[in-house]
Amino acid sequence: MFRPMRRSRQQISTVECQEILRRATSGVLGLHGDDGYPYTVPLSFVYQEGGSGLGTIGFHCATTGHKIDAIRRDPKVSFTVIDRDEVMPRERTTKFCSVIAFGRARILEGEEEMRRAANAVGAKYSAGFEDLYRQETEDTLREGRLCCVEITIDHMTGKIGRELLTERLRAAAGAPGEL
């Protein structure tokens, strides 16, 4: 169902993909938008292990809008995170590492499910301010303004640029080189 990576030598492990998703602070959600146009939107998110074995990606958003309409129309989504992107002008390339996850988005229902999801996002982005994000969660729940989405990851791949891969291989071999 999913294509194999063409440059398989540059593919990173599932474990490294999960590490990248855990530490990343933003990603781009790809949806089937209006009139057949792709719709991509950057957002803050939280990655959690579990579910299908590859984990889930969660975020909160407004209760209405293009993103929610697209998810209701077609729950199949992709989510991209760029972990590293260092331009190398002289070499006319970049040192990069990225992850693309494919999955199915589900709009969460029920206060407990939404509370859990919103507080997971709050814990990632507002550590040390638990009382503030938990109060915001309760306020938005009470006011009916909270919408949370969870993507169950069906497949994911990660890719590392050749220059960064070469750098890693040199470091692993103990060879001198730019690190």
| Residue-wise pLDDT tens digits, 132-157 | 999 999 999 999 999 999 999 999 99
Mean pLDDT for 60-67 is 94
Mean pLDDT for 122-139 is 95
The strand ranges marked E within the chain are 11-12, 27-32, 38-43, 46-48, 56-61, 76-88, 93-107, 147-160
Whether residue 26 contacts residue 67, with contact meaning beta carbons closer than 8 Å, is answered with no
For 54, phi and psi rounded to 5 degrees?
Answer: -95, -15
Whether residue 56 contacts residue 151, with contact meaning beta carbons closer than 8 Å, is answered with yes
Residue 65: count other Cβ atoms within 10 Å of its Cβ.
Answer: 11
Taking each helix axis from N to C end, the angle separating 111-125 and 130-143, rounded to the nearest 10 degrees, works out to 150
User: Left if phi > 0, otherwise alpha if psi is -120 to 50, otherwise beta: which for 36?
Assistant: left
User: What pLDDT is recorded for position 68?
Assistant: 97
Mean pLDDT for 157-162 is 91
What secondary structure letter does DSSP report for 6? Answer: T
User: What pLDDT is recorded for position 51?
Assistant: 63
Query: What fold, for 8-173?
Result: Pnp Oxidase; Chain A (2.30.110)
**What value, to the nearest 5°, has the Cα angle with vertex 22 and ends 172 and 80?**
90
Residue spans per domain, the chain: 8-173
95-109 pLDDT, tens digit per residue, is 889 999 999 999 999
Find, among 117, 112, 147, 130, the residue nearest to 48 by Cα.
117
Percent share of the chain, pLDDT over 70: 96
* pLDDT for residue 110 is more than 90: yes
User: What pLDDT is recorded for position 112?
Assistant: 95
pLDDT, averaged across the chain: 92
Q: Which amino acid is it at 46?
A: V
Give the chain's largest Cα–Cα span.
60
* pLDDT for residue 177 is more than 70: no
The larger pLDDT score, comparing residue 179 to residue 68, is at 68
User: What pLDDT is recorded for position 179?
Assistant: 44
Alpha carbon distance 150, 167 (integer Å): 36
User: What pLDDT is recorded for position 29?
Assistant: 98
